[in-house]
């Protein structure tokens, strides 16, 4: 079975350019039958933090507004929402709506989610996630659209469609999920379980300006000039990886989807090679490898630990950029950080390499460090 991945040029965020790009990108999907009159549609955006659109950390409001107009013109009722990292409360999330410029969707007739309750439910169909906590406003949706931002990611290598659905988990529960699923493959399977649970009818990728380097919040904006639309988060992520030049095996969600038989063959409309950025600065994440950790005997265990330390990326503080805000100390799910002289110190024996400290550092002072041996092996 094939899934459509439509990729088209979108040079900037001007209203005229965005409108034309959506017209081209949505053409292969016909009448969008899920957007029938009266249908309740949730656009699950990437609003990871209170960051301005030009930072390239969040879904751009110009794109969100145009999609809202398209859906509302078909008679649908549209709500835009997300659960950023932090408190899932009216005061905090509304501040994020304002800071990211997403409040502009109100001018189109769409709504911003104002339901900040959450639900605990069983998930018997999940491979890893057998029960979950999620934002309850999703229960009111007849259809969910996954509208992500194309970025590098400290833990998963790349943040796009699959990773964006982590925003279904209320912000206060996210550290707990990192702690429950510290292994990269287990975390990837958890993300796929979320995608399978909520099954977005459409995935849209803001790749007009992506983020490279120290993503997903403290990287550098990088122009790509593309808008992607697909009916499969897995096929779309594979195309996104091609565009930024990251190997599929470096993206655990792609590898996990393939292993579970979920990545369909992509029917491409448009050529990803036209948008490929050859020198995109990536976060190289070394996959979890046992290297004899499970072997019997002292030698096997020692070798496994040495190899793990020599090859696995870790978060590291750049002291000159740290302001001592204690955000990393607060968000660390493993309690592996303590503050000394107003600077964070990481206990490596406790660190689970979830990179929450790197993701939510407001100054980008926490960075992904790859050991020298790992760099040499990747050459």
Residues 98, 169, single domain; the answer is yes
Residues 203, 341, single domain; the answer is no
For residue 293, being part of any structural domain is answered with no
pTM of the model: 0.88
Residues 255, 322, single domain; the answer is no
Residues 341, 211, single domain; the answer is no
The pLDDT, as a whole number, for residue 278 is 94
> Which CATH number characterizes residue 309's domain?
3.30.70.20
Query: Which residue in this structure is represented by tokens 């100054």?
Result: 363
Cα 342 from Cα 313, distance rounded (Å): 25
The total of structural domains in the chain comes to 2
Q: CB 159: neighbour CB atoms within 10 A? A: 31
Burial classification of residue 295, based on how many CB atoms lie within 10 Å of its CB (0-12 exposed, 13-18 middle, 19 or more buried): middle
Q: pLDDT of 149-177, one tens digit each?
A: 999 999 999 999 999 999 999 998 998 99
The pLDDT, as a whole number, for residue 69 is 98
Query: Which domain does 176 fall in, by range?
Result: 2-275
**329 φ, ψ to 5°?**
-60, -40
The residue among 232, 260, 275 that closes a domain is 275
The two structure tokens encoding residue 144 = 């969910």
Residues 185, 322, single domain; the answer is no
The residue among 275, 307, 325 that closes a domain is 275
Cα 145 from Cα 160, distance rounded (Å): 13
Residues 305, 271, single domain; the answer is no
Cα 216 from Cα 222, distance rounded (Å): 13
The pLDDT, as a whole number, for residue 353 is 87
- Give 264's DSSP letter: P
- Give 201's DSSP letter: S
Residues 216, 330, single domain; the answer is no
Low-confidence residues of the chain: pLDDT under 70? 285-311, 370-379
For residue 235, being part of any structural domain is answered with yes
Residues 32, 101, single domain; the answer is yes
Residues 320, 212, single domain; the answer is no
The pLDDT, as a whole number, for residue 266 is 95
For residue 354, being part of any structural domain is answered with yes
Residues 358, 228, single domain; the answer is no
Q: pLDDT of 303-325, one tens digit each?
A: 445 544 545 788 999 999 999 99
Residues 311, 367, single domain; the answer is yes
Handedness of CA 128, 132, 137, 142 (dihedral sign): positive
For residue 289, being part of any structural domain is answered with no
Q: pLDDT of 260-276, one tens digit each?
A: 999 999 999 999 999 99
The two structure tokens encoding residue 183 = 């292994």
Residues 96, 208, single domain; the answer is yes
């Amino acid at each position: 079975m094939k899934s459509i991945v439509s990729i088209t040029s979108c040079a900037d965020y001007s209203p005229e350019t965005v409108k034309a790009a959506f017209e081209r990108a949505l053409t292969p999907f016909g009448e969008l039958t899920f957007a029938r009159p009266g249908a309740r549609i949730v656009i699950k955006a990437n609003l990871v933090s209170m960051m301005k659109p030009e930072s390239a950390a969040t879904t751009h409001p110009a794109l969100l507004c145009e999609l809202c107009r398209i859906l509302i013109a078909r008679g649908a009722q549209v709500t835009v929402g997300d659960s950023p990292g932090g408190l899932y409360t009216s005061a905090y999330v509304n501040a994020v709506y304002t800071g990211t410029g997403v409040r502009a969707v109100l001018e189109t007739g769409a709504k911003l989610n104002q339901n900040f309750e959450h639900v605990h439910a069983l998930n018997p169909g999940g491979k890893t996630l057998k029960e979950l906590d999620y934002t309850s406003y999703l229960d009111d949706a007849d259809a969910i659209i996954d509208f992500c931002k194309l970025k590098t990611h400290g833990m998963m290598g790349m943040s796009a469609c699959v990773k964006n659905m982590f925003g279904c988990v209320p912000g206060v529960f996210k550290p707990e999920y990192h702690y429950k699923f510290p292994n990269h493959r287990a975390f990837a399977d958890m993300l796929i379980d979320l995608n399978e649970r909520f099954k977005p009818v459409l995935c849209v990728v803001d790749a007009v300006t992506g983020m490279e380097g120290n993503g997903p919040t403290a990287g550098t904006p990088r122009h790509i000039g593309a808008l992607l639309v697909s009916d499969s988060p897995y096929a779309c992520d594979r195309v996104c990886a091609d565009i930024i030049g990251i190997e599929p095996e470096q993206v655990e969600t792609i590898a996990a989807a393939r292993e579970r038989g979920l990545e369909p063959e992509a029917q491409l409309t448009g050529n990803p090679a036209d948008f490929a950025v050859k020198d995109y600065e990536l976060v190289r994440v070394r996959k979890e490898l046992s290297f004899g950790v499970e072997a019997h005997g002292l030698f096997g265990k020692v070798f496994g630990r040495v190899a793990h330390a020599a090859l696995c990326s870790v978060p590291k503080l750049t002291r000159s950029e740290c302001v001592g805000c204690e955000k990393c100390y607060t968000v660390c799910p493993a309690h592996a950080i303590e503050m000394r002289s107003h600077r964070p110190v990481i206990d490596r024996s406790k660190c689970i390499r979830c990179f929450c400290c790197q993701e939510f550092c407001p100054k980008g002072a926490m960075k992904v460090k790859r050991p020298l041996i790992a760099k040499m092996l990747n050459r």
